[in-house]
Structure 1
Amino acid sequence: MLPVSPAVNRARRLQVLGAAALLTFLSLHPGPPVRADQGGDDTTFVITPEFTPPVPGSYELMHIMRAPGGKVLDLNGKRRDLAEFTQGKVTLLSFIYSSCSDPNGCPYAYIVFHTLQNRLERDPRFAGKVQLLSLSFDPARDTPEMLRLYAGDNADAKRPVEWNFLTTASVGELLPILDDYGQDVYLEKDPDTGKWLGTFSHVLKVFLIDEHQEVREIYTTTFLMPDMVYNDIVTLLMESGFKP
């Protein structure tokens, strides 16, 4: 057998731990209560909001800015433009890195996306109308191979609601994307030695983009709840005649 790199071993551990690891992170989360309902080979996470979101279509979402593009790599290592993934469908975009262990950060976003993907796929009318994107800001470690293992079945291209995991070829190609979206990311360093600890400091931001590539909502942890995001997605689709 060929030797397996430490990076691949780490990604496989992430994949095997899967929902159990994410739930452990969320058990530390001070926000909405979370429980895991297991059925068959899948786990559905139920995040209980602290308030009732408004009914879809009863409000309007602002036009915040044009969704920026940029050079990215897909899970096959193919060079693409981010703009290819933010047009023609309602898109939910998060910036993440696979080794994040902050319960208020990437693991929480992962569960929200996982929950939304499963919920949307229960209604065939959403097929081809909504997509999810997770873009890594750790290109040195989050290679396409790593992200493919991290994504697991969520990234199956045959799923009615696609969830694409993207990275970049270099930090140089990543930085303009982060700047254009206003996503701040900082390297965490040991205060005594000044050496990088291998982790990042960032405020979780998730961007809701309409089918015309307009950013219509930006969520932080406080408001990133499946019920709220689901209602916002339906509200955007209703602008094009979707009947809830």
Structure 2
Amino acid sequence: MPRLAFVPPAPGSYRLERIMKAPDGIVLESDGSVRRLSEFTTGRITLFSFIYTYCTDAKGCPLAYATLHSLKSTIERTPAMHGKVRFVSMSFDPEYDTPVAMRSYGGREARDRRGLEWHFLTTRSSRELAPMLDGFGQDVSVAALQPTGQRAPVLSHMLKVYLLDTGGEVREIYSTSYLHPTVLLGDIKTLLQERARR
């Protein structure tokens, strides 16, 4: 990971505002089970992002994956954080990104339940996905329409990673400029301290 161009404030020395409530809807886990999105956005501090498995934009989905992968290792080495944080990656393209494709994309991260849980979700249709995209304020457009069953070559979207508290409230939204393990870790620790003070 590149070095940060600034020094983030110490965890707990600032407050993260409540931005919005995460939406709910029907999702598919990478094992094919039908679940509610709220099962993955409440109960633990959650880093949530929309991705698609064939994204090649270096400042898009691959950046999010690499950042979260790095952060996952740090969290797993921190006993005080065990069982309190999860990651969720959800597909923009349910037609191509089936549960099997999401499980393949997630690789070991999708199957390993011994450390930090990382869920790779999709939906049964674009129609079911749309209200969740709207609820998160995540825009996506298809660069070119393809025949049914063939993936579009490019989905255009602005990378956003959402930090949710245990109640399912979005507390921070990271763009490319601030998507760094050090920043994310500080904000997670801030939410953990907030929860401990209650």
Under a length normalisation based on structure 1, what TM-score does the superposition of the two structures give? 0.76
Contact 1:126 1:161 in 2 (8 A): no
Pair 1:124-2:79 in alignment: yes
Which residue of 146, 151, 170 maps to 2:101? Answer: 146
The whole-number CA distance in structure 2 between the counterparts of 1:126 and 1:164 is 18
**1:94 Cα offset (Å):** 0.3
Identical residues among aligned pairs (%): 49
Pair 1:87-2:42 in alignment: yes
RMSD after superposition: 1.4
User: 1:210-242 CA deviation, whole Å, 9 max, x = no partner?
Assistant: 011111001111111110010000000001228
Which residue of 102, 105, 109 maps to 2:60? Answer: 105
User: 1:16-72 CA deviation, whole Å, 9 max, x = no partner?
Assistant: xxxxxxxxxxxxxxxxxxxxxxxxxxxxxx332111111100100001111111110
Ranges of 4+ aligned residues in structure 1 off by more than 3 Å: none
Contact 1:91 1:130 in 2 (8 A): yes
The whole-number CA distance in structure 1 between the counterparts of 2:38 and 2:101 is 23
Which residue of 175, 193, 198 maps to 2:153? Answer: 198
Size of the aligned set, in residue pairs, is 192
Q: Say if 1:197 and 1:148 are closer, same or farther in 2 by CA, change over 3 A.
A: closer
| Long gaps (5+) in structure 1 | 1-45, 191-195
Who is 1:48 aligned against?
A: 3
**1:90 Cα offset (Å):** 0.3
Who is 2:25 aligned against?
A: 70
User: 1:142-163 CA deviation, whole Å, 9 max, x = no partner?
Assistant: 1111111111111234232110
Pair 1:187-2:142 in alignment: yes
User: What letter is aligned with 1:178?
Assistant: L
**1:197 Cα offset (Å):** 4.7
Contact 1:47 1:226 in 2 (8 A): no
Pair 1:137-2:131 in alignment: no
Q: Say if 1:180 and 1:160 are closer, same or farther in 2 by CA, change over 3 A.
A: same
User: What letter is aligned with 1:167?
Assistant: T
| Long gaps (5+) in structure 2 | 146-150
